[in-house]
């Protein structure tokens, strides 16, 4: 049984492979299909983008495809950046640009509650795509801390921890993160498929 993971983000791919036990599957990623153009993520929800990526890669390769879209949702900012998390500071922006914008937007605000949320979609030939999701709650701290992880990790401290995602060892983050929780849900809902039984 083969599965394509719909991402060209090496950090995300490494994290998914570290979290999930794909023993029953032969794993590929978008890197293995350079001729297939990137999917334009123009959905207005995380779910829409995840489904679009999974469906388009499934159609292009003829293989089952797993895709996710993740976002940081900040209470004081009305849930932003949300679906725009990766490109919040504009096309071609860096992680540093986005983190700097987040700190500016939260300057002087006392409510710094936030959640990371991941929606994962599985598309299989001739079947309707399905989705699951996972989230982790925490707070946005006032300065960057840590050099692990990527994205907003240096500013996000999960509830129950005194270190940011970027300070936690990878094995700890990969146990408690939004992506880990979405993959746990995927393992439960799509267990037969992931074990190569259907």
Residues known to be catalytic: 69
- Paired tokens of 196: 């190569």
- Report the length, in residues, of the chain: 198
Report, in angstroms and rounded to the nearest whole number, the Rg of the chain calculated over CA atoms: 17
- Please report how the helices 10-19 and 178-189 are oriented relative to each other, as an axis angle in degrees rounded to 10: 50
Gap between the Cα atoms of 181 and 187, Å rounded: 10
- Which residue is listed with tokens 């409510």? 111
The burial of 48, by beta-carbon neighbours within 10 Å (0-12 exposed, 13-18 middle, 19 or more buried), is given as middle
Q: Which residue in 149, 103, 132, 158 sits closest to 9, CA to CA?
A: 149
| DSSP three-state, residue 79 | coil
CB 138 within 8 A of CB 159: yes
């Amino acid at each position: 049984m083969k599965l394509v993971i719909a991402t060209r983000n090496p950090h995300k791919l490494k994290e998914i492979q570290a979290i999930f036990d794909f023993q029953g599957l032969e794993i590929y990623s978008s890197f293995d299909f350079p001729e297939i153009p990137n999917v334009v993520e123009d959905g207005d929800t995380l779910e829409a983008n995840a489904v679009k990526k999974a469906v388009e890669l499934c159609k292009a390769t003829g293989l089952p495809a797993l895709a996710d879209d993740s976002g940081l949702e900040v209470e004081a900012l009305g849930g932003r950046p949300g679906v725009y998390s990766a490109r919040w500071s504009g096309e071609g922006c860096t992680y540093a640009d986005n983190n700097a914008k987040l700190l500016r937007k939260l300057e002087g605000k006392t409510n710094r509650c936030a959640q990371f949320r991941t929606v994962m979609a599985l598309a299989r030939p001739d079947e309707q795509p399905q989705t699951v999701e996972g989230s982790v709650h925490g707070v946005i701290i006032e300065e960057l801390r840590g050099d692990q992880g990527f994205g907003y990790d240096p500013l996000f401290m999960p509830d129950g921890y005194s270190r940011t995602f970027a300070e936690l060892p990878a094995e700890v983050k990969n146990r408690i993160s939004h992506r880990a929780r979405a993959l746990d849900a995927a393992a439960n809902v799509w267990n037969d498929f992931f074990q190569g039984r259907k």
